[in-house]
Amino acid sequence: MGFADQRFTVNLSILFTELPLLERPAAAAAAGFTAVELWWPWTDSPTPKPSRLDALGKAIEAAGVRLTGLNFYAGQLPGPDRGALSVPGEESARFRANVEVATDFAGALGCTTLNALYGNRVDGVDPAEQDALALENLVLAARAADRIGAVVLVEALNRPESPRYPLVSAPAAVAVVDRVNEATGLGNARFLMDLYHLSRNGEDLPEVIDRYTPRTGHVQIADDPGRGAPGTGSLPLADLLDRLAKAGYDGWIGLEYKPGDAPSTGAFDWLAARARAAR
């Protein structure tokens, strides 16, 4: 497998945000993409009115793109929150209320990857209590995802930007994946390999790719520093993508980077240049 076989999906929660949500799928299609992914779009509600869900589903279908990834409710993203499922009280209750809603929405659109952000540590709460709550909620999510033939993703974020988030390395996230799979017996929990976050944590990215590609359910990229498009920072993303292909990763690669000051349509020139180089 090589670059020509790799498939890219654009994250509509960080790209094309200059447009209203319902216009973004068509904009992605016009830019040449056949697939999109999303953070949970309604940070104010884990259970929005069906009309809001229907409108987004119709916009995706009308654009002729496929929804390939969706986050469960994770609080305010972008913002200070980094997930909800390990946060005691109202936030974890909101996550649980969202599980079936998000799963049904994903299933109706043929989406088979659901990202469950772990959640920040909370002052005055034993971390072991939060971890037990996280496992309980991840098991709930994995069983719901299994109903539609989907996987649940566990993501490592980066410590500089998310200092209260406990999963800030590939091994830490994969350890949670293992606990979920052991608890459910389903085997549908997988690692979300975000090369930007792992780079910010100072991890050896070639080693991460070689070691964890078989455990990976999705990959996301952005350059570092800056979280911009490939070529705006110093990460050797072309080489890393080649290494992923050689390691056997054949899933979608999510473009989860900031477009900069220009419109999002100008943030994909690197793809055309890389395609020409691969010929």
CA dihedral over 163, 164, 167, 172, signed as positive or negative: positive
Which residues have a catalytic role annotated? 155, 256
pLDDT digits (tens, 9 = 90+) for 144-153: 999 999 999 9
Mean pLDDT of 204-218: 98
Please give the residue that has the higher pLDDT: either 262 or 172: 172
Q: What is the pLDDT of residue 80?
A: 85
Q: What is the pLDDT of residue 277?
A: 52
Per-residue confidence band for 5, with pLDDT thresholds at 50, 70 and 90: low
Q: Please, are residues 168 and 201 in contact by the beta-carbon 8 Å criterion? A: yes
pLDDT digits (tens, 9 = 90+) for 79-98: 888 999 999 999 999 999 99
What does the alpha-carbon distance between residue 72 and residue 95 come to, in Å, rounded to a whole number?
Answer: 7
Q: What is the pLDDT of residue 273?
A: 65
What does the alpha-carbon distance between residue 30 and residue 34 come to, in Å, rounded to a whole number?
Answer: 9
Per-residue confidence band for 279, with pLDDT thresholds at 50, 70 and 90: very low
pLDDT digits (tens, 9 = 90+) for 225-270: 999 999 999 999 999 999 999 999 999 999 999 999 889 999 999 9
Q: Give CA angle at 143 (99, 52), nearest 5°.
A: 25
pLDDT digits (tens, 9 = 90+) for 173-185: 999 999 999 999 9
Q: Please, are residues 237 and 195 in contact by the beta-carbon 8 Å criterion? A: yes
Enumerate the β-bridge partners of residue 151.
113
- Residue 269 tokens read as 């020139």
What does the alpha-carbon distance between residue 239 and residue 133 come to, in Å, rounded to a whole number?
Answer: 39
Q: What CA dihedral angle connects 155, 157, 163 and 169, to 10 degrees? A: 80
Looking from the CA of 202 toward its CB, the CA atoms found within 13 Å total 2
Indicate the pTM of the whole model: 0.95
What does the alpha-carbon distance between residue 187 and residue 177 come to, in Å, rounded to a whole number?
Answer: 9
Q: What is the pLDDT of residue 2?
A: 40
User: Which domains are assigned to the chain?
Assistant: 3-278 (3.20.20.150)
What does the alpha-carbon distance between residue 197 and residue 195 come to, in Å, rounded to a whole number?
Answer: 6
- Residue 41 tokens read as 């779009």
pLDDT digits (tens, 9 = 90+) for 19-77: 999 999 999 999 999 999 999 999 999 999 999 999 999 999 999 999 999 999 999 88
- Residue 141 tokens read as 């999510």
Taking alpha carbons only, the member of 115, 120, 203, 217 closest to residue 161 is: 120
What does the alpha-carbon distance between residue 34 and residue 39 come to, in Å, rounded to a whole number?
Answer: 18
- Count Cβ atoms below 10 Å from residue 204 Cβ, excluding itself: 12
SS3 of residue 242 by DSSP:
helix
